[in-house]
Homo-oligomer: A and B are copies of this chain.
């Protein structure tokens, strides 16, 4: 491939993992004019996607990755990610030198560095690129994407990523995307718990909780969560959004990393334990704003 060809906008891309995030993200790529091939562990979902968006589906991560200039993935965790990259029939064995692998999974910084090194041996550039914004953000194509890896590959992949993102930032070398996502989750822990404590207090104090939210969300306690989850928390609605199981997985990554870098996370660790109690109450799939249920009487 000539230098010029290498700098052209990639047009053939692949997407591995059509879950609640990957499905609409791959759809935005197709909608932006990319030729998209897809792979999903459950085949029926890949066939449904092709029926909706065109393109083609393949039988394995390796098969879908052949000829792709960029391979995207969004899977469950470190192990799933290793399976679709360096595992048997994984994408890395099929990708051409010069191709880019963009991983949208929220995973460890360790696996990101490991796969960046494994990719480099084959001439493949690996970018860790976890997202924030949830299912709604993926559907609307307004995700925030935090990327770790080499600047040149980042710039080549960026136009494709922007088909489903409002904000894309290169945060540093491999692993930096994952570490940035961890910072985001750490910031959420106490924010969500204190919002829950505030709203439960408001109700016990006999206040009109929705009016309280309308007033205080104009001041120093304002947050995206207050504006987007305050009313639903008060109304006891948790059957949507970002599930408690996923948050616990992410907190596990944060607490592991903190053991390595020496950070102290007293409130994140405490709120992680509160989520364990939510899981025990059957709330694994409830939105993370469900912390308020532990404070209520019933």
- A residues near B (Cβ < 8 Å) are 109, 132-134, 144, 146, 166-167, 169, 171-172, 176, 179-180, 182-195, 197-202, 204-208, 211-212, 214-216, 218-226, 228, 242, 254, 257-258, 261-268, 270-271, 295
Contacts and interface: CB of A to CB of B under 8 A. Distances in A.
Given A144-B219, A219-B144, A295-B263, A187 B183 contact: no
Nearest to A274: B266
Contact of A193 (B180, B192, B199, B267): B267
Q: Which 9 A-B pairs have the closest CB atoms?
A: A190-B190, A190-B194, A223-B223, A132-B219, A187-B198, A187-B221, A204-B261, A186-B198, A201-B263
18 contacts: A144-B219, A146-B216, A169-B215, A171-B212, A172-B207, A183-B201, A186-B201, A188-B194, A190-B192, A194-B268, A200-B263, A201-B254, A205-B261, A205-B263, A220-B224, A221-B223, A221-B225, A266-B270
Most chain B CB within a 10 A radius of its CB, from A187, A262, A266: A187
A264 B183 contact: no
B167 A218 contact: yes
Nearest to A148: B207
Contacts of A191: 190-191, 194-195, 221, 223
Contact of A167 (B186, B187, B215): B215
Contact of A184 (B184, B211, B220): B220
A193 B268 CA distance: 9
Given A187-B198, A220-B225, 18 more contacts: A133-B219, A146-B215, A172-B207, A176-B206, A176-B207, A182-B205, A183-B199, A184-B219, A184-B221, A188-B194, A190-B190, A190-B271, A191-B195, A191-B223, A200-B263, A220-B228, A223-B223, A264-B295
Given A171-B208, A262-B204, A295-B263, A183 B216 contact: yes
Contact of A201 (B220, B242, B261): B261
A57 B143 CA distance: 57
A194 to B, nearest CB: 3
Nearest to A218: B167
A201 B182 contact: yes
A268 B268 CA distance: 14
A113 to B, nearest CB: 12
Given A167-B215, A224-B222, A268 B172 contact: no
A266 B192 CA distance: 13
Contact of A144 (B144, B171, B216): B216
